[in-house]
C-alpha cells in the first residue's frame, strides 16, 4: 500500500511544524524519515496514523484519501518508542487486541496471534505480562501487535531509541529480516539516527525545520548530498568554504581539483568531503595543516587538522605511530570523492 503526502501542512496553535510536505512512499518500500528533533518527522508519521489533523493538504493511503478518517478506520500498524503495550493484558492479549476490536473470529485470532508471535520470536512469552519482559522483548511484542492486524502500512516512530546500543543493532537486523519476510508491507520509519536510516531504508527523506530537505536512496544521499544539512546529517562531512575557479576550487590558499561543471567560476561554494575519504600523507589534492586534536576510536583515528582558518576532519585506519598535537601533517583526497554544494550557512 502506498503512502502519499500531498502538500501536508500541520500547525499547532499557529506554529507550523510541518510545512507543505510532498512525499510518496511506494508499496513495499521502506522510507526513513530522518531529521533532528523538532524537524517535523514525527508529525508527518502521526498525520498518517490520524493523530494530527493537517491544516491543509491531503494524506492518501493506497490512493484513498484518509485525511478525514479517524485513526481506527485507517488500518495502519504503529510501533512507538515507548512500546505502549497495555500493562493489564498478557502478551497474547496485547497481540490479539486489534483483532478482537474488529470482531475477528476466535479461531482466526488464535492463528494470527501465534503467527505474529512466531514471526517476532516471542511465542514462548505469550502468557507473560509486559512488565515481565525486557525492553527488547517488549519492542518485539509491540511489533507483533502491529503486524497481527496485517496492515498494509507499518509506522515505526523511533522504535529503537529506548534500547541500548547492543540490542539496537540486533533489532535493526530483525527489522530488516521482517521486511524481507513481509515484502508487501510499506514501512515509514522515523528516526534521528542516520545509521538506522542507512541500514534499513530503501529511500531516506531528510527533514529539518518542518521541511523536507532531500529525498533519495541512501547511496545517493551519501555520495551526492544536495545541500549542507543533508551532507552533515547523513554520515557527517567536512563542509569547506571554497571559491570556484576554472578547473577546481580554491580552499585556504590551495587549489583543489574537483568537478566544477555545476558551478559558476568566481562564486562561493561549499566543498563536501567525508572524513573517512580523507587520507593522511601525500596524494592528489594535498592540504597541509597542524594537528589540533587527535582521538583514538579503536579501529580508526580521528584527526582534526587546522588548515588555514578551518578544521578538516580525517578518519584514518588506526595508526601505529600517530602524529601528536601541533605536528604538521599533509592530507589528501580523491577528486571524485568530493562534492561541490551551493554555499550555505556554513560559509565563513
Partner 1 sequence: MAEAVRTARAVGGGARRPRPFGALVWALPPVALLALFFLYPLALVVQQSFRPDSGGTSVQPYADVFASEAFRKALWTTVWLAPASTAGCLVLGFLLALVIAFVPFPGAKAVARFVDVFLSFPSFLITLALLFVYGTVGMANGAWTGLTGAAQGPFQFLNTPWGVLLAETTYFTPFVMRPLLAAFSQLDTAQLEAASSLGARAPRIVRKVILPEALPALAAGGSLVLVLCLNEFGIVLFTGAKGVTTLPMLVYSKAILESDYPGACVVAVVNVLISVGLYGLYRVVSRRAGA
Partner 2 sequence: MLVHSRGARWALWAVFLVLFLPLFALPLLVVLGASLATHWSSVLPSGLTLANYRSATRGEALQALLTSLLTAAGASVLALATGTWAALAGASLKKRGKRVLDALFMLPVAVPSVVVGLSVLVAFSKPPLLLNGTRWIVILAHTVLVTAFAHQSVSAAVTRLDPAYEQAAASLGARPSYVLWRVRLPLLLPSLTAAAGLCFALSMGELSATMMLYPPDWTPLPVLIYAATDRGALFSGSAVAVVLMAATLLVLFAVSRVRTRASYR
Type and span of the H or E element at 130? none
Tracing cell 528516526 back to the chain, one arrives at 191
Interface mask (CB under 8 A) for partner 2, residues 225-264, using x and -?
A: ----------------------------------------
324 binds partner 1 (CB under 8 A): no
Residue among 6, 16, 123, 236 that touches partner 1 (CB under 8 A): 16
Residue 44 binding result from partner 1, partner 2, none, given CB thresholds of 5 to 8 Å by partner type: none
Tell me, what DSSP letter sits at residue 125? G
Site mask for partner 2 (CB under 8 A), range 59-98, x = bound: -----------xxxxxxxxx-x-x-xxxxx--------xx
Please identify which residue in the block is written with the cell numbers 500498524.
77
315 half-sphere exposure, CB direction, 13 A CA radius: 13
What are the grid coordinates assigned to 40, written together? 517535523
Query: Hey, is 342 helix, strand or coil?
Result: strand
Pairing of strands 203-208, 211-216: antiparallel
109 binds partner 2 (CB under 8 A): no
In a 13 Å sphere around the CA of 162, the CA atoms on its Cβ side amount to: 17
Does 324 bind partner 2 (CB under 8 A)? Our answer is no
Residues 19-78 that bind partner 1 (CB under 8 A): 46, 50-56, 68, 70-71
Minimal CA–CA distance to 138: which of 150, 120, 158, 152?
A: 120
**Of residues 129 and 276, the one with the C-beta less far from partner 2:** 129
Q: Report residue 75: phi and psi, to 5°.
A: 65, 35
Q: Residue 19 CB, nearest distance to partner 2 (Å)?
A: 24
Which region among 8-16, 85-93, 174-182, 263-271 touches partner 1 (by CB under 8 A)? 8-16
Q: Minimum CB separation from partner 2 for residue 61, in Å?
A: 13
C-alpha cell at 211: 521541511
Does 106 interact with partner 2 (rule: CB under 8 A)? Answer: no
Please report, as residue ranges, which positions from 117 to 146 form the binding site for partner 2 (by CB under 8 A).
Answer: 129, 145-146
Task: Output 71 or 308, the one with its CB closest to partner 1.
Answer: 71
Quickly tell me which residue has 509486559 as its cell. Answer: 130
* HSE of 135, CA atoms in CB hemisphere, 13 A: 15
> Which helix (DSSP H) or strand (DSSP E) does residue 340 occupy?
strand 338-342
Check if the beta carbon of residue 273 is closer than 8 Å to that of residue 338: yes
Contact residues: partner 2, CB under 8 A: 49-51, 70-78, 80, 82, 84-88, 97-98, 100-102, 129, 145-146, 149, 155
Contact residues: partner 1, CB under 8 A: 9-14, 16-17, 46, 50-56, 68, 70-71
Amino acid at each position: 500500500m502506498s503512502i502519499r503526502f500531498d502538500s501536508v501542512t500541520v500547525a499547532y496553535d499557529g506554529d507550523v511544524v510541518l510545512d507543505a510536505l510532498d512525499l510518496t512512499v511506494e508499496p513495499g518500500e521502506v522510507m526513513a524519515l530522518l531529521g533532528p528533533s523538532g524537524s517535523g518527522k514525527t508529525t508527518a508519521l502521526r498525520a498518517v496514523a490520524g493523530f494530527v489533523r493537517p491544516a491543509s493538504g491531503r494524506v492518501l493511503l493506497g490512493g484513498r484519501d484518509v485525511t478525514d478518517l479517524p485513526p481506527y478506520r485507517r488500518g495502519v500498524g504503529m510501533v512507538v518508542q515507548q512500546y505502549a503495550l497495555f500493562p493489564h493484558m498478557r502478551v497474547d492479549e496485547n497481540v490479539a487486541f486489534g483483532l478482537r476490536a474488529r470482531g475477528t473470529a476466535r479461531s482466526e485470532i488464535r492463528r494470527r496471534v501465534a503467527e505474529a508471535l512466531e514471526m517476532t520470536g516471542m511465542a514462548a512469552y505469550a502468557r507473560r505480562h509486559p512488565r515481565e519482559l525486557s525492553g527488547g522483548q517488549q519492542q518485539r511484542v509491540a511489533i507483533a501487535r502491529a503486524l497481527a492486524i496485517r496492515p498494509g502500512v507499518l509506522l515505526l516512530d523511533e522504535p529503537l531509541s529506548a534500547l541500548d546500543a547492543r540490542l539496537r543493532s540486533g533489532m535493526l537486523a530483525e527489522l530488516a529480516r521482517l521486511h524481507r519476510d513481509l515484502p508487501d508491507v510499506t514501512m515509514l520509519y522515523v528516526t534521528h539516527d542516520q545509521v538506522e536510516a542507512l541500514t534499513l531504508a530503501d529511500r531516506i527523506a531528510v527533514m529539518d525545520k518542518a521541511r523536507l530537505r532531500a529525498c533519495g536512496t541512501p547511496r545517493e544521499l551519501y555520495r551526492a548530498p544536495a545541500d549542507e544539512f543533508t551532507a552533515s546529517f547523513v554520515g557527517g562531512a567536512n563542509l569547506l568554504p571554497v571559491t570556484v575557479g576554472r578547473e577546481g576550487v580554491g580552499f585556504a590558499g590551495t587549489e583543489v581539483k574537483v568537478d566544477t561543471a555545476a558551478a559558476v567560476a568566481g562564486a562561493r561554494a561549499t566543498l563536501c568531503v567525508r572524513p573517512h575519504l580523507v587520507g593522511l600523507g601525500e596524494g592528489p589534492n594535498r592540504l597541509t595543516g597542524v594537528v589540533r586534536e587527535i582521538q583514538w576510536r579503536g579501529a580508526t583515528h580521528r584527526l582534526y587538522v587546522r588548515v588555514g582558518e578551518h578544521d578538516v576532519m580525517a578518519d584514518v585506519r588506526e595508526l601505529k605511530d600517530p602524529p601528536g598535537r601541533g605536528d604538521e601533517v599533509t592530507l589528501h583526497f580523491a577528486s571524485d570523492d568530493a562534492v561541490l554544494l551551493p554555499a550555505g550557512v556554513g560559509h565563513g
